[in-house]
Amino acid sequence: MKLKPFAITLDPGSSLANRTGSWRTVRPEYVDRLPPCNHACPAGENIQGWLFHAESGHYEEAWRVLVRDNPLPAVMGRVCYHPCETSCNRAQLDESVGINAIERFLGDEALRCGWKFAAPAAATGRRVLVIGAGPSGLSAAYQLACAGHGVTIHDAGPAPGGMMRFGIPRYRLPREVLDAEIRRILELGVSLELNSKVTNVPGAMRDGGFDAVFLAVGAHIARRAYIPAGSAAKMLDAISLLRSMEGGERPLLGRRVVVYGGGNTAMDAARTAKRLGAEESIIVYRRTRERMPAHESELEEALQEGVLVKWLSTIRQAGESSITVERMQLDASGKPQPTGELETLAADCVILALGQDVDLSLLDGVPGLEVKDGVVQVGAGMMTGHPGIFAGGDMVPGERTVTVGIGHGKLAARHIDAWLRGTTWVHPPPHELATYDKLNTWYYSDAPKSRQPVLDTIRRQSTFEEVVGGFDEVTAQFEARRCLSCGNCFECDNCYGVCPDNAVIKLGPGQRYQFNYDYCKGCGLCVAECPCGAIRTVPEEI
C-alpha cells in the first residue's frame, strides 16, 4: 500500500517560500546503499539491478545485466545454494524473494530465445591459458574473451563442465542446459582442448606462447578413510560413482547401499543409488543433523525420496554383505567420540563421500608457488607466487561451490586483464549496506513466496528426470516484483508526495529526484517515509 501523492503549493510571497537553510540542523540527501542480496552473492552479481528489469518484463535486459558477472545463469539457477536469499531483507517481512528461481527463468529464457553475448572488445593480442573447464575456468575464459584477450582452455576430461558435469547428477542439472551455456561461451572465440591434461605449467605457458595462466582444476580426487574390509567387500567413492553416470553403462550397486559422509556429495550419491534400483539407501554420518555440512534442501529432498540417515554413527568394518557401525557421541566441543556401542547393518555396497582434493601434480617444480593444506596460496590479486600464474576455484582456499568458482573466475579475469595491461585492478569501495532497519515496510503488503514445481516422489526414485521445475513468466514476474529495492530509489514518488515544503523536484523517468534546499526545512519526513531507505540526513554545514 502506498500513500496517494499530494503537493502543497505555496504563495511565492509567503515567508515560508523564502530560503530555509538557516533553519535546518540536518539536511536530507539521496543515497545508493548496497542491497544485502548483492553483498552476499559469491559471484558478485548485481541482483537488484537485474530484478528491476525482470519485474518490468524486460527479460533480455535483465539477462544482460546478469551475465556481466555470471555467464551460466541457467546452471546457477539450478545448483546455487542462494546465499542471497538467506540475506534477503524481505525474509524479515514475510519470506525472502525467490532470486534463484528468477535467475533460472532468465537463463532458460535466454536459451529458448537464442540470446547471445555481446561481441568481445577489440583484440589485444595477449593470450591466456586456462587450465580446467569447470565453473571457475569457464567464468574466467568468458570475462577474458569479453576483454579482447585470446583464451585457450585445456581440460583433462572428455567433456567440459568439470564438477558441474561429473559431480552434479542430471536430476539437478540437465546436461543439455549445461552444454548450451558452455557453447555460448565458446562462441566468443574461446578455444577448448579436451583430453588435454597439463603436466608442466611453465612449459605449457612457454610452448603455447601464453602471456598468463589461470589454474582452475577442480577437486576430482576422493578422500579415503581406513576401514578394515574383507576381500569381498564392495567399496567405491562417491566421485567415481557420479562420474560413471556420464558413461553408457550404469554401475551395479546392489539392493542395500550405505553412503559414508555428510556433505552434498553424500546426498547426491545416496539419491543416485535410489535411482539405480537400491531398495535401501542409508547415509551414515558421525555428527547430528545440525552439524551436517550438506545443504538443508539437499537433505530434505533426499529424505523425501526415501533415503535414510543414521546419525552419530561411524563405520568400523565392512564385510561382503554387512558393515559394523559404532555409535558416537559429541563432546563439549562438538567433536564425535566413540562409545563402544556396535551395530551390524546389511550392506551390499559402501560408497565413501568424505570430501575431495585437487590433483596438484601439475605444479611440481613451479618456482615461487606455495601450496598449503592441499590448496594453492594466492595474493589479493588472485596471483600465485609465480608471476603471471593465477589460480581460483577449488585450487585456492575457500568454499567449494559453483557460485564461488564463478566469482573466482570473474575476479581473477579482472586482475589478469589489468596485469596484462601493466596496471592494477582495485575493487571499487563498497556502499553502505542497506539493512532492514533502514526500510519503511509499512508500504508493502504481504506477498507469499512462489514455489517451484517439484517432480512427484515415485518418479524421482526411479528416473533421472529433473526434480525441481522452473517458473512460468507470470510467476517469475510476480516474484521479481516482491523485491523491496533495498537501499536504492525506484521512483515511487513518496518523498515527492509527503514533502510539506515542495522541496522535492522530479527529474523525469529514470532520473530520480533532487532536493531544493532553498525550501527544505530538514523535517526528515522524506527519510521516514522512503520505503527502500534511499534517503538519509546529514548534519547541516554551518
Q: What is the CATH number of domain 226-356?
A: 3.50.50.60
**Topology given in CATH for the domain delimited by 38-116+443-480:** Fumarate Reductase Iron-sulfur Protein; Chain B, domain 2 (1.10.1060)
pLDDT band at 19 (very low <50, low <70, confident <90, very high): very low
pLDDT of residue 434: 95
pLDDT for the residue 542: 62
Q: CB-based contacts of 18: which residues, under 8 Å, 6+ apart?
A: none
Cell representation of residue 379: 595474493
- The pLDDT assigned to 196 comes to 94
| Residues 285/263, Cβ–Cβ less than 8 Å | no
Q: Which residues contact 537 (CB under 8 A, 6 or more apart)?
A: 26, 27, 28, 29, 522, 524, 527
Residue 503's Cβ-count burial label (10 Å; 0-12, 13-18, 19+) is: buried
Q: Which of 238, 322, 237 is nearest to 272 (CA)?
A: 238
Distance CA 57, CA 53 (A): 7
Q: What is the pLDDT of residue 9?
A: 40
Please give the full DSSP string across 225-261, using - where no structure is assigned. ----B-TT--EEEHHHHHHHTTSSSPPP--SEEEEE-
Counting every residue, how long is the chain? Answer: 542
Residue 415 identity (one-letter amino acid): H
pLDDT classification of 21: cutoffs 50, 70, 90: low
Within 8 A by CB and 6+ apart from 332, the residues are none
- Nearest to residue 494, comparing CAs of 439, 537, 437? 439
Give residue 443's pLDDT: 81
Handedness of CA 76, 77, 82, 87 (dihedral sign): positive
Say whether pLDDT at 7 is over 50. Answer: no
The separation between the first and the last C-alpha atoms of the chain, rounded to the nearest angstrom, is 39
Q: Is 390 helix (H, G, I), strand (E, B) or coil?
A: strand
Rounded-to-integer distance, Cα 509 and Cα 531, Å: 18
Confidence check: pLDDT of 18 > 80: no
pLDDT digits 0-9 by tens, 272-302: 999 999 999 999 999 999 999 999 999 999 9
- Max Cα–Cα distance, the chain, nearest Å: 101
Question: Strands across the sheet with 313-318, in order?
Answer: 313-318, 322-330, 336-346
CATH class assigned to 15-32+489-539? alpha beta
pLDDT, residue 302, reads: 94
- Paired with 338 in beta bridges are 328
The residue whose grid cell reads 558413461 is 247
Average pLDDT, the chain: 91
- Rounded distance between C-alpha atoms, residue 97 and residue 84, angstroms: 9
Q: Which residues pair with 18 in a beta bridge?
A: none
Please state, in angstroms and as integers, the Cα–Cα distance from residue 44 to each residue in 37, 55, 188, 408, 410, following that order: 10, 20, 22, 10, 9
Q: Domain 127-221+357-420 adopts which CATH fold? A: FAD/NAD(P)-binding domain (3.50.50)
User: Do residues 457 and 463 touch, judged by C-beta distance below 8 A?
Assistant: no
Does the pLDDT value for residue 230 go beyond 80?
A: no
Give the integer Cα–Cα distance in Å for 196 and 305: 39
Q: Would the CATH topology of 38-116+443-480 be identical to that of 226-356?
A: no
pTM of the predicted model, to two decimals? 0.91
Q: Could you say which DSSP state residue 8 is in? A: -
Q: How far apart are CA 362 and CA 266, in angstroms?
A: 28
Residue-wise DSSP of 67-98: TTT-S-HHHHHHH---HHHHH-GGGGTSS---
* CA separation, residue 110 to residues 47, 54, 59, 115, 409 (Å): 17, 13, 9, 5, 22
Do the Cβ atoms of 142 and 53 come closer than 8 Å? Answer: no
Question: Is residue 283 within 8 Å of residue 293, measured between CB atoms?
Answer: no
391 within 8 A of 409, measured Cβ to Cβ: no
Is the pLDDT at 13 greater than 50? The verdict is no
Sorted by where each begins, the domain ranges of the chain are 15-32+489-539, 38-116+443-480, 127-221+357-420, 226-356
Query: Over 90: is that where the pLDDT of 341 sits?
Result: yes
Query: Quick one: which of 203, 241, 207 has its CA closest to 356?
Result: 241
Mean pLDDT within 155-170: 94
* pLDDT higher than threshold 60 for residue 15: no
Mean pLDDT of 431-452: 90
